[in-house]
Structure 1
Amino acid sequence: MSKSLIIAPQWIGDAVMTEPLLRRLHARGERITVGALPWVAPVYRAMPQVAEVIEFPFAHGGLQFKARRALAKRIEGQFDAAYVLPNSLKSALLPFLASIPKRVGYLGEARVGLLTHRLKNPKNKPPMVAFYSALSGEQDVAGDRPQLQMDAADVDRALAELGLARGAYYVFAPGAEYGPAKRWPARHFSELAAKLDRPVVLLGSGKEASLCDEIAAPVNAAEAGKCLNFAGRTSLLQALCLIAASKSTISNDSGLMHVAAALGVPQVAIFGSSSPLHTPPLSEKAAVLWLKTDPAYQPPLDCAPCFARDCPLGHTRCLNDITADQVRQKL
């Protein structure tokens, strides 16, 4: 059995999108080890085909050449192939320094000499699953859906620690790292929470805690304890477990949206400046709300998708005009 090292992307959503590639490699007999930053590593531990996860000791940003060279010396001789998923120069350094014989990746930024097998970057934005799966060298990469599996004991432990029960709550993931043009307004999340028949668990990073407080405050003022703000208060593993055990998850186009899809959880995904044609939630249980494709919405949303952080026109109609009732009807 050949041994392969996967250099993982740094974002949760991208990590989820790599699962079909790893499944393909495992199916043809490769033993998979993933090298990932700590905040992404739990996603790969939810992939049964991954034999081992190495948590990289690198900080975000910077080349950190000495640290990469030290780790390269420790893993030298252990792998037959490396698949470099990010397009950055620094991500290709470790396999090169470790003298891994086969090093596969897209051309990326100035790394021709670091890779032995190089794919040209596609001109148009392909679906992310296909983009990563093409690194397997196989031609038929369409139709794959990411799949994650949480350990039942981990889920039960997380629920017990946080005082929750399976299917007894909804999850809201109201953040989006990219910017406001991908975030459904807080007041709409609040209105939806007030209308639901179960408590709402708010998930996100510590940076999104204030946003979640803004959503929870008016709801809890009317019905104490209806919204539970866990943003920044759970590990990623706990967050994955809470999503897996939820009745349904409502989110923007974000990493946690892709997590819910890969876990097969019923969900509603709300799109604004981005496009579900490029980064859809790949699940039969997912409902998508995007006014661009709603024939009843007038005037037509010709500006979408703009892929901007902030609305260039200043109105953010693509999100402001999606109502709480529209989302509730999809649940």
Structure 2
Amino acid sequence: MAQPRFAADAVGMVLGALLDVVFGDPRRWHPVAGFGRFASLVERRTYADDRVAGARFALVTVGVPVAAAAAAARLTRRRPVARTALVAAATWAALGGTSLAREGRVMADRLEHGDLDGAREQLPNLCGRDPSTLEAPELARATVESVAENTSDAVVGPLFWGAVAGLPGIVGYRAVNTLDAMVGHRSPRYARFGTASARLDDVANLAPSRLTAALTVAAAPVVGGDPGQALRVWQRDGGRHPSPNSGQCEASMAGALGVRLGGRNVYGSRVEERPQLGDGGRPTPRDVRRAATLSVTVAAAAVGVAAAARLRLGRHERGRGRK
């Protein structure tokens, strides 16, 4: 039997995932928004156009919430009900799977009804590409790619680190991922300052992205896909993407849906040519809907895997304590 604190963590993650299913993202007083304001304050006080300043910024902005979460975990070590509630709240705040799938379905609806203007307005809810010149096939592709990547970032990543490190893992992962979104992109201001945050996010997502890809392969039949094809495309194309992690998720999604991803992406004044992932045609609105369904399926599987892993770790710790 697992130690009570590990069992509380496992139950808390499951409850937090259920809260996300029922309510989606908290509409007011979202902790991630509060963290963003804290990080912006630290940035204003520490910014300099160099990597050392960026490393100090990342250390402070990640270290403070992780230290607070670790202190809370210690205080609730022998209080399983309080610990369960804390982990459930943190998991709910960290997860974004329900909102991600909902945004994907909205995009599918607009594309199916030929509402191109509405689809272009919808895209910024999913990714940072310039939608102004995109036609329906490119809007569908951008959505499928975003759903694939964010299934890892918004679902599997927090759960993976919750399984590994409990409450501090959930909080720390969400802090790292939020910093990457804030300062980890390529721009004149953050080209050097954001390097540490971007690299930290890469490291934090090495395992979650590959777990996401593996779960996507396993779940392919839910949307009529072939797991063998999904595995083949993942293994062949996962390393072609400029990101060490996004390509894993996007390639497995492309294989599971039987579509082709990649191509020309415009981010404001910056243009990127991404390699082709997959062998099929360009995604259709139906494929966007299938991607959302696949994301929800992967999320449900990830909850089960994370809770089981945390319980197993607790049994391992109990066994060590008896020696």
- Where on the TM-score scale, by shorter chain, does this alignment land: which range? under 0.3
**Which structure's residues are more often strand, by fraction?**
1
Using structure 1 for the length normalisation, give the TM-score: 0.23
**Which structure's residues are more often helix, by fraction?**
2
Structure ranking higher on relative contact order (CA contacts 8 Å, 6+ apart): 2
Using structure 2 for the length normalisation, give the TM-score: 0.24
